[in-house]
Amino acid sequence: MNQYSPRRYKRRGISQGSQLFLNLTLAIAILLQVAYPLVDGETLRLLTLATVYFAAGAMLLHAYLAFGWRYVTTYFAITFTFALAIEQMGVRTGWPFGSYSYDPSLAYQIFGVPLVVPFAWMMMAHPVLVVARRITKNWVFLVGGFAMMGWDLFLDPQMVAAHRWTWTLVESGIPFEPEIPISNAAGWLFAGMGLIALLHATLPRERRKGGAGFSAVEIFIAWTFFAGVIGNFFFFDRPAVGLWAGIIFACTYGPYAFTRWLGRP
């Protein structure tokens, strides 16, 4: 048991006030997602935007409390720039995600890309990086790209159904969602690999002394998996999407949960 559940180093941790603020921000983001299938119209539009901004805020706050200012500012700059650049490329050229366009309902746009979109990347890239770094040392970019693709398989059917974005040409659709091209899944895989590789090479790997633990990240990742599966099964009438996207996302979340439960030798 000592071999597989070694005694962790004790850290002082963050202040109670900082932990409370982090927990509150994350709780608001999750509660907003809980309310998503219960509202419609303008309320749903505003709730969609608020969900992304609160979730991104929670993950940015955790990044600062766990790793410090250098990590969070570098993370923000790289992720925002990468996401905005590749989304600009996508809406103009159709590469790598396919030919698509965003609806004006997503509010302020930067040359055709809503401001909220880079923040959606930002809310996932940090927890995905944490998960990928724990699972593997040499294949962080591959695990990270796979996780980003798995998350998008939950997201895209939901947003397409709400008409937040649409594809103008679909030659070969993803399983159970023919209106979304298979190129979108491939694009997320390779774009996710590129972003996670860049973040992994640039950002510190060790938490700062007295930094926050990873409970907020673990709760957010677990909630993303749970909400994606349960939402598609019981609220969005897409059980096949919930099943196969859940299996793909579980391929990264499962090993992480396993190592956290058993520890490492």
Tell me the per-residue pLDDT of 98-115, one tens digit each, with 9 for 90 and over: 999 999 999 999 999 999
Residue in this structure with the two tokens 């996302």, named with its chain if needed: 249
Tell me the per-residue pLDDT of 147-187, one tens digit each, with 9 for 90 and over: 999 999 999 999 999 999 998 877 778 888 888 999 999 99
Closest CA relative to residue 131, chosen from 119, 150, 147: 147
Full domain range(s) for residue 166: 16-262
Q: Could you tell me if residue 11 is inside a domain? A: no
Q: Among residues of the chain, what percentage have pLDDT more than 70?
A: 95
Contact present, 63 and 84 (Cβ < 8 Å): no
Residue 265 and residue 254: Cα distance in Å, rounded? 18
Contact present, 146 and 252 (Cβ < 8 Å): yes
pLDDT at position 172 is 78
Q: Could you tell me if residue 171 is inside a domain? A: yes
Structural domains counted in the chain:
1
- Give the HSE-up count for residue 174: Cα atoms under 13 Å, Cβ half-sphere: 24
User: What distances in angstroms separate CA 51 from CA 39, 55, 60, one per listed residue?
Assistant: 13, 6, 14
Q: Could you tell me if residue 8 is inside a domain? A: no
Q: Could you tell me if residue 126 is inside a domain? A: yes
Q: Could you tell me if residue 213 is inside a domain? A: yes
Q: Could you tell me if residue 199 is inside a domain? A: yes
pLDDT(265) > 50? no
What is the SS3 assignment for 246?
helix
Q: Could you tell me if residue 6 is inside a domain? A: no
Q: Could you tell me if residue 215 is inside a domain? A: yes
